Amino acid sequence: MVIIGDIHGCIKSLKKLLSIIPKDREIYSVGDLIDRGPDPKSVVSLCRDQGIRPVMGNHEHLLLDYLDGSSLYGPGVFMANGGQSTLLSYGHKISGDHLDFFSTLPLYIETKYFFLSHAGIHPSMTIEKACDVNKRNALNILWNRGRLANFRKPQVIQVIGHSPVTKPLKYRSNDETYGINIDTGCVYPAMGKLTAISFPERQIYQVACED
């Protein structure tokens, strides 16, 4: 199993990363496939074609809020967070199959090796409370930029993205890794890397941004 960090419309970088990941591995994503970068639509199409399994990112949630007019985030927030690139790549018309794809993304995926979500579970939150994403809450599973809970389960670590870092950031306690952030800012010039991690090996795969 392999998990890819925030892609943000960087289709060339995604293709390059996939070319160095061993074949026949299940591939997951921390979400944020869209916005900011040059070709979100192609990223989504490739993920669907390749059977990549993303969780919901805050940018997918922003898009759904923008499209259904629920105004959870208020006017202009989607566009202020890079939404224009997504609308342009879709020609301002998102097809039904892609809309269904966004709408059915899970908030988390749990296996015997990892708990995958976009921004992670804060120690003050239960999983149930963190998954209440229909209220403004800076610590929910899509927006948390604070600490990560230590599940204290053998071999299980939280894998997240959301907050760009210059290199994969490990969360550790008593010399044991209980979480890792793999959003290495592919879409940002000062960072510019797309990262993935494999399980159970916990090997890092990384490419420089090509978009």
CA distance 158 to 175: 16
Read off the tokens for 48.
């669907």
pLDDT value for 75: 81
Strand 27-29 and strand 53-54: pairing? parallel
pLDDT value for 200: 96
pLDDT value for 71: 82
Amino acid at 34: I
What's the number of domains the chain is made of?
1
pLDDT value for 69: 85
Taking the CA atoms of the chain, what radius of gyration do you get in angstroms? Answer: 16
Phi, psi of 55 (to 5 degrees): -95, 170
Rounded mean pLDDT, 155-166: 97
Beta carbons within 10 angstroms of residue 189's beta carbon? 7
Rounded mean pLDDT, 30-49: 98
pLDDT in tens, 87-137: 999 999 999 999 999 999 999 999 999 999 999 999 999 999 999 999 889
Angle at 85 between CA 185 and CA 7, to 5 degrees: 30
For residue 154, name the pLDDT band (cuts at 50, 70, 90): confident
Phi, psi of 37 (to 5 degrees): -80, 180
Read off the tokens for 134.
């229909």
pLDDT value for 23: 92
Q: What CATH number does residue 110 fall under?
A: 3.60.21.10
Which domain, by its residues, includes 152? 2-208
Rounded mean pLDDT, 45-66: 97
pLDDT value for 189: 93
Find the distance separating the first CA and the last CA of the chain, reported in whole Å: 26
The DSSP annotation for the chain comes to -EEE---TT-HHHHHHHHHHSPTT--EEE-S--SSSSS-HHHHHHHHHHHT-EEPPPHHHHHHHHHHHT--SS-TTHHIIIIIHHHHHHTTT---HHHHHHHHT--SEEE-SSEEEESS---TTS-HHHHT-TTS--TTSTTT--S-------TT-EEEE-SS--SS-EEEEETTEEEEEE----TTSTTT-EEEEEETTT--EEEEE---
CA distance 98 to 63: 12
For residue 202, name the pLDDT band (cuts at 50, 70, 90): very high
For residue 182, name the pLDDT band (cuts at 50, 70, 90): very high
pLDDT score of 74 more than 90:
no
